[in-house]
Amino acid sequence: MKILMPYFKRYHVDVSIALLSVLVLVFATLWQPRLLQVVMTAIIKNDQQTVLREGILLLGLAVLGIAGGVINTIYSARVALGVATDLRADMYAKIQSFAYADVETFSASNLVVRMTNDINQVQQIVMAAFQQITRVPLLFIGALILAIVTMPEQWWVILVMMLVILLASWVAVRRMTTYFAETQQDIENVNTVTRENLMGIRVVKSFVQETNEISKFSQASDQLTAVTAKIGYWFSILMPIFFLTANLAVGVAVYLVGQNITAHPAYLAAITSFVAYLMQILYAVINGGFLMTFASRAFISIGRISEVLVTQPSMTYVASEDETPLTGEITFDHVTFTYPGDTQPTLRDISFKTTAGAMLGIVGATGSGKTTLAQLIARLYDPDSGHIMIGGVDVRQIPEKRLRATVAYVLQRSTLFSGTIAGNLKQVRPDAQVSHMQWAANVAQASEFIERLPQTYDAPVEERSQNFSGGQKQRLAITRGIIANPEILILDDATSALDARSEKLVQEAMDRDLKSTTTVVIAEKIASIIRADQILVLDAGRISGSGTHQQLLQSNPIYQAIYQTQKAREEAVK
């Protein structure tokens, strides 16, 4: 709850208006029965004057009530949406400050649910709070005072009634809190299975696993159904208990009045109004009770939201807005790295150095740690020990913007975001003109197909760049990587889906147009790195050899083996 306070403060004007209009509403609610009473007495007395006067007052009260209600709705909605929107924005900002490992820990699917469903719970309870909760105590206190004044001896009946109702609510709230926590968890599971099926729909279909996926989903869904049914059962117990308690209280009170009526004959006349007040107390308590149970769902959600908000990013950057790129020199000094949660290091004692503008090739078996190494340059993770330096500065000392301005990283499985091609390119380089885009696309050999699209650079991109072929996606990703003309360009197997000819053209264009850029090329194909100034051969997380193609061919057995598998069957073809 505490985390919501600053947000309410931000909307203090709306909050005040919403609360004031509740007062108007309560006034209208409490005043109306009295007014009716007067009117009816007047009718019975056949006092036309009073009927007319009070009747018009009643109409005025109706208008006042409508105004109060409408204003209350508008301002409650403003507060609720203001709080929800800001909370969501802060949560998103927080997630965007996370290190990649933090996102992995929470998992994307989980974060999405928290940002939508959980925020929605909070929004609803805030709305209800300003429409109802503030009204409840006022009505409750009013009725309580009147009831006790009417029959002071019966105070304990009221007390017992309230205690029973509160006890029932307390038990229910405790139960429901666990159920609501389960609900949110189950919604998350449903979301995970669905999301996975959306992403892997081709796999599901090609393996004809629809039926199994449905039963997997049903399991997740049935859990949700079971817990929601339990919540429903608790609700259905609660309401009758409330009413029964109140009516028993009425029965007991009347019975007691009856037994002692000879001592207090005056109470005979008070029974009706006492019952009315008891009922008003009951309605207030019931409303409060229900709001508490709803609030218990919102509290769970608030907890889940603050879990995200209080998480400190596991990686921090030195504070500075410096964006001037560093030089493209990369140094690894005895770097060892273990993935969070792993026991064995993935990279061991890696040391190498490249000069600015050089080309560094990295080869090695699948799972030998090539991507991991590249991720350390881009500081997706920090090493356990050792130092990584870019332009002579330890990466941990480089401000974030400066690092990103220096290093461009084309991921192994890279996709564009939905929107347009130009939109994606402009994200990386906001001032990009068509000429820049053309230049970058030319280098990446992407202009060949982009320019054949009817809308060229404004062509739509679907989620996961699904409307492009594998090789087209990669070339678009490379285009995005180079458009800002970075000092360091990392290509992680970024040409694996390119045909040999396109790949060769990419290399030639990069040699020509990105001369001063340090390029780190991870590749399975020797042809991709054969011209590198230095090639690292990785083997199970260690550097097994380093040097030029010729040197490695002489000295490194792993490199030789890789080379052997790629030599043409017909060496003669020239």
Partner 1 sequence: MSDLRNAGKYYWHYLKKYWRGFILSAVLIGISTWCIVVAPTYLGRAVEALTTYLDQWLNPATRAQASLGTFNHTLVIYVLLYVGDAATIFMAGLILARVTAHSTGTMRVGLFRKMQRMRVKYFDTHSDGDILARFTSDLDNIFNAMNQALMEVLLAVAQFVGILIVMFNQNVTMAWVTMASTPVALIIAALVMRKAGTAVNQQQDDIGQLNGYINEQITGQKVLITNGLQQDSKRGFDKYNQRVRQSALTGQIWSGILNPLMQGMSLLNTAIVIFFGSWLALNGSLSKGAALALVVVFVNYAQQYYQPIMSLTSLYSMIQLAITGARRIDEVRDQPDEVNPVDGGRPDGIQRELKIDDVHFSYLPGKEILHGITINVQRGEMVALVGPTGSGKTTVMNLLNRFYDVDSGQITFDGVDIRTFDLKALRQNVGIVLQEPQLFTGTIADNIRYGQPEASMDRVIAAAKQANIHDFIESLPEKYATQVSDEQSIFSAGQKQLMSIARTILTNPRLLILDEATSNVDTVTEAKIQAAMDNVIQGRTSFVIAHRLKTILNADKIVVLKDGAIIEQGSHEALLAENGFYAELYRNQMVFD
Ligand X SMILES: Nc1ncnc2c1ncn2[C@@H]1O[C@H](COP(=O)(O)OP(=O)(O)OP(=O)(O)O)[C@@H](O)[C@H]1O
Using CB under 5 A as the criterion, which residues of the chain lie in contact with Mg ion when the complex forms? 371, 412, 469-470
DSSP string, 409-421: EE-TT--PPSEEH
Shorter beta-carbon distance to partner 1: residue 109 or 177: 109
- Which of 387, 504, 533, 548: binder of partner 1 (CB under 8 A)? 504
The residues near 42 (Cβ < 8 Å, ≥ 6 apart) are: 50, 51, 54
Backbone angles phi, psi at 92, to 5 degrees: -65, -40
- Which of 123, 346, 465, 519: binder of ligand X (CB under 6 A)? 346
The interface partner of residue 65, options being Mg ion, partner 1, ligand X, none and the CB cut-off 5 to 8 Å by kind, is partner 1
Kindly tell me the burial class for residue 106, based on how many C-beta atoms sit within 10 Å of its own C-beta (0-12, 13-18, 19 or more): middle
Rounded Cα distance, 457 and 480, in Å = 12
- Which of 105, 191, 412, 496: binder of ligand X (CB under 6 A)? 412
Shorter beta-carbon distance to Mg ion: residue 118 or 493: 493
- Which of 316, 397, 469, 555: binder of partner 1 (CB under 8 A)? 469
Is position 561 an interface residue for partner 1 (rule: CB under 8 A)?
A: yes
DSSP string, 270-336: HHHHHHHHHHHHHHHHHHHHHHHHHHHHHHHHHHHHHHHHHPPPSS--------PPPPS-EEEEEEE
Rounded Cα distance, 126 and 77, in Å = 9
Rounded Cα distance, 34 and 40, in Å = 10
- Which of 467, 544, 551, 560: binder of ligand X (CB under 6 A)? 467
Restricting to residues 262-281, which ones interact with partner 1 according to CB under 8 A?
Answer: 262, 265, 268, 271-272, 275
Is position 65 an interface residue for partner 1 (rule: CB under 8 A)?
A: yes
Q: Two tokens at 492?
A: 């992680």
The residues near 135 (Cβ < 8 Å, ≥ 6 apart) are: 22, 25, 26, 29, 287
Shorter beta-carbon distance to ligand X: residue 393 or 523: 523
Query: C-beta of 339: minimal distance to Mg ion in Å?
Result: 13
Shorter beta-carbon distance to ligand X: residue 227 or 523: 523
The interface partner of residue 37, options being Mg ion, partner 1, ligand X, none and the CB cut-off 5 to 8 Å by kind, is none
- Closest by CA to 49, choosing from 64, 28, 41, is 41
Residue with smallest beta-carbon separation from ligand X: 471
- Which of 78, 94, 370, 404: binder of ligand X (CB under 6 A)? 370
Is position 345 an interface residue for ligand X (rule: CB under 6 A)?
A: no
User: Cβ(142)–Cβ(30) under 8 Å?
Assistant: yes
The interface partner of residue 141, options being ligand X, Mg ion, partner 1, none and the CB cut-off 5 to 8 Å by kind, is none
Restricting to residues 411-450, which ones interact with partner 1 according to CB under 8 A?
Answer: 411-415, 417-418, 427-428, 449
Q: Which residue has the tokens 């000819």?
A: 501
- Closest by CA to 375, choosing from 399, 357, 350, is 350
Is position 371 an interface residue for ligand X (rule: CB under 6 A)?
A: yes
Is position 177 an interface residue for ligand X (rule: CB under 6 A)?
A: no
The interface partner of residue 192, options being Mg ion, partner 1, ligand X, none and the CB cut-off 5 to 8 Å by kind, is partner 1
Is position 399 an interface residue for partner 1 (rule: CB under 8 A)?
A: no
- Which of 3, 10, 30, 55: binder of partner 1 (CB under 8 A)? 55
Shorter beta-carbon distance to partner 1: residue 218 or 433: 218
Is position 566 an interface residue for partner 1 (rule: CB under 8 A)?
A: yes
- Which of 1, 6, 12, 62: binder of partner 1 (CB under 8 A)? 62
Query: C-beta of 389: minimal distance to ligand X in Å?
Result: 21
Q: Which residue has the tokens 């001037």?
A: 324
The interface partner of residue 397, options being ligand X, partner 1, Mg ion, none and the CB cut-off 5 to 8 Å by kind, is none
Shorter beta-carbon distance to ligand X: residue 383 or 471: 471
Binding mask 124-143 vs partner 1 (x if CB under 8 A, - otherwise)? ---x---x------------
Reduced 3-state DSSP string for 522-547: ECCCHHHHCCCCEEEEEECCEEEEEE
Query: C-beta of 367: minimal distance to ligand X in Å?
Result: 4
The interface partner of residue 136, options being Mg ion, partner 1, ligand X, none and the CB cut-off 5 to 8 Å by kind, is none
Is position 469 an interface residue for ligand X (rule: CB under 6 A)?
A: yes
Rounded Cα distance, 304 and 115, in Å = 10
Tell me how many residues contact partner 1 (CB under 8 A).
Answer: 189
- Which of 6, 33, 137, 470: binder of ligand X (CB under 6 A)? 470
Shorter beta-carbon distance to Mg ion: residue 371 or 406: 371
Shorter beta-carbon distance to ligand X: residue 329 or 493: 493
Dihedral over alpha carbons 419, 420, 422, 425 (to 10 degrees): 50
The residues near 238 (Cβ < 8 Å, ≥ 6 apart) are: 168, 169, 172, 289, 290, 293
- From start to end of 338-483, where are the E strands? 347-354, 359-364, 385-390, 393-394, 407-410, 419-420, 460-461
Is position 398 an interface residue for partner 1 (rule: CB under 8 A)?
A: no
Helix 421-428 × helix 434-443 angle, to 10°:
90
- Secondary structure of residue 569 in the 3-state scheme: coil
Give the Cβ contact number of residue 93 at 10 Å.
10
Give the Cβ contact number of residue 320 at 10 Å.
12
Is position 513 an interface residue for partner 1 (rule: CB under 8 A)?
A: no
Tell me how many residues contact ligand X (CB under 6 A).
Answer: 21
Is position 556 an interface residue for ligand X (rule: CB under 6 A)?
A: no
Query: C-beta of 566: minimal distance to partner 1 in Å?
Result: 5
Q: Which residues in this chain contact ligand X in the complex, by CB under 6 A?
A: 339, 342, 346, 364, 366-372, 412, 466-472, 493, 497
